Structure 1
Amino acid sequence: MSAKKKFFAGAGAVAALLTSGAAEAAQPKPWEMNFQPAATDIMRQMTWFEHYTLWFIGPITLLVLALLAYCIIKFRESVNPTPSRTSHNTLIEVIWTVGPVIVLLFIAVPSFQLLTAQYTPTEDPTLTVKATANQWNWDYEYQVDDPLSYNSAILDDGDRAAAGKQDMAVYPRLLTVDHELVVPVNKLTRVLVTATDVIHAFAMPAFGVKTDAVPGRINEVWFKPEKEGLYYGQCSELCGKDHAFMPIAIRVVSDDQYKTWLTAAKADLDGANKALMAEVDGTNKVAAAGN
């Protein structure tokens, strides 16, 4: 195992220890500045890369600010009435050419590695789901024997009681849907994304997943969630007047729970969802994740 993979594995183990016994998924917070807690290895790598690039962005920003302040003070008209006519300086030109090239190399190499990882699944998918975007909801089709299809739309506040989703901590307003996408934990899920009308986007921040849903075209993303819980995303492409009311909810459960739900959902989707909610919410009381 490479040093980089060891780092990510260790970070995942520490995160698991810190979150065990508590809510297994975080929820959006007001004025939040960081990413949502990573629920996949890819998102953990993205978080690492963001922290890594800040070590370059911070000093460069401060350097440019210092140079601007120096030039403003040193070369202001009141103390420098005769401006310099220097056309070039070889040393400075070499520095501002070579310096950025070195910085870009340090950023480019890990970014290419991350991009490669995003497009290179570590294994064959256990589950394939087709997600079709509409104004302003999602159709999900499970590509399994005797396929399961259903629609997922934002849940109106007046329907919360009937759906058993009154707990605002678990089912936040404007992010809760009537039917979540249910997937098994620690299994690779492939999502085929398309649209029926205009361009939308399928985004799940905690998974490190985001791709456009384009009419007449199928884009593919994948994720392998490492923690059970209820995760939220949203359409991330301006798609019309109700763009802000087009959430995505993914419920990650154990493999046994997923298989039981899938069998029951083919006969009675609402009944299967309520049975799964009763089991999961009664034992885990997870919070929402993503934004």
Structure 2
Amino acid sequence: MAHPSQLGFQDAASPVMEELLHFHDHALMIVFLISTFVLYVIVVMVSTELTNKFILDSQEVEIVWTVLPAVILILIAMPSLRILYLMDEVNDPHLTVKAVGHQWYWSYEYTDYNELCFDSYMVPTQDLAPGQFRLLETDHRVVLPVESPLRILVSAEDVLHSWAIPSLGVKMDAVPGRLNQTTLMAAHSGVFYGQCSEICGANHSFMPVVVEAVPLKHFEDWSLLLSSTY
């Protein structure tokens, strides 16, 4: 969960988000080095005779400023492609959950449990309990087992939505008439908050996502209790 005056990302709660944070730091360092070098060249050109005709006509300089950007792009592209393939890979998931966006709430179906489905609405401000977060808390949380590879199927019933949880590194568009899939695995127990990340209408900011990762035994107890309730 983010905290006041935070400048960086939320703490990673999944292996994918850890990879994304490492890639962000990697790319940011490259950008910092490029910016420093360009600033240095500008200062030198302004303050010295660096801009004489021998430098401007140098074949070696032209080779360097052609090859170096290509090398930098490769250094950025290779880890980026690796993470993209990692995020799209869904290998033998232990559980499948279908999230369907509506105006303006989410509904969930645990496809491995025939009768386990529910709607998830935002808790109004006046109904919040102490310690709950305004505009982020829901009446029904998505309970998932911890340290288990999961498949999330995402769709929408009316307009475009987007199911996103920053700390888990998940953001998948919900498109009407189309079923998108993504994968996630919570590395530890906890409650993780997200929101619809697509401008889907007047109440766009009032359809949060709350995922609660619990040990497998607790998840099984919860699923049995919810199945009996519905």
TM-score by length of 1: 0.73
Q: 2:158 aligns with which of 172, 190, 197?
A: 197
TM-score by length of 2: 0.91
What displacement does 1:72 show? 5.3
Report the equivalent of 1:143.
Answer: 111
Tell me, in whole angstroms, the C-alpha distance in 2 between the residues paired with 1:93 and 1:233: 48
| 1:95-174 equivalences in 2 (<5 Å) | 95-121=64-90, 123-160=91-128, 166-168=129-131, 171-174=132-135
Residue 62 and residue 87 in structure 1: after superposition, are their counterparts in 2 closer, same or farther (change >3 A)?
A: closer
Report the equivalent of 1:254.
Answer: 215
Tell me, in whole angstroms, the C-alpha distance in 1 between the residues paired with 2:62 and 2:2: 46
Residue 72 and residue 147 in structure 1: after superposition, are their counterparts in 2 closer, same or farther (change >3 A)?
A: farther
Q: Deviations over 1:67-103 (max 9, x none)?
A: 344455669xxxx9xx98x985432221111111111
What displacement does 1:144 show? 2.0
Residue 262 and residue 98 in structure 1: after superposition, are their counterparts in 2 closer, same or farther (change >3 A)?
A: same
What displacement does 1:227 show? 0.7
Q: Deviations over 1:225-276 (max 9, x none)?
A: 111111001111111122122210001111111111111112326xxxxxxx
Pairwise CA RMSD: 2.1
Q: Deviations over 1:166-201 (max 9, x none)?
A: 232xx2111111111111111111110011111111
Q: 2:14 touches 2:168 (CA, 8 Å); kept in 1?
A: yes
In the alignment, structure 2 segments of 5+ residues that lack a partner are none
> Does residue 49 of the first structure (1) align with residue 23 of the second (2)?
yes
Tell me, in whole angstroms, the C-alpha distance in 2 between the residues paired with 1:211 and 1:146: 24
Residue 153 and residue 73 in structure 1: after superposition, are their counterparts in 2 closer, same or farther (change >3 A)?
A: farther
Tell me, in whole angstroms, the C-alpha distance in 1 between the residues paired with 2:58 and 2:115: 69
SS at match of 1:66: helix
SS at match of 1:99: helix
> Does residue 241 of the first structure (1) align with residue 202 of the second (2)?
yes
Q: 2:178 aligns with which of 217, 228, 253?
A: 217
Partner amino acid, structure 1, of 2:79: P
Structure with the higher strand share, 1 or 2: 2
SS at match of 1:191: strand
Tell me, in whole angstroms, the C-alpha distance in 2 between the residues paired with 1:99 and 1:31: 37
SS at match of 2:62: helix
Tell me, in whole angstroms, the C-alpha distance in 2 between the residues paired with 1:227 and 1:167: 24
Q: 2:89 touches 2:183 (CA, 8 Å); kept in 1?
A: no
Tell me, in whole angstroms, the C-alpha distance in 2 between the residues paired with 1:34 and 1:258: 32
| 1:68-83 equivalences in 2 (<5 Å) | 68-71=42-45
Q: Percent identity?
A: 35
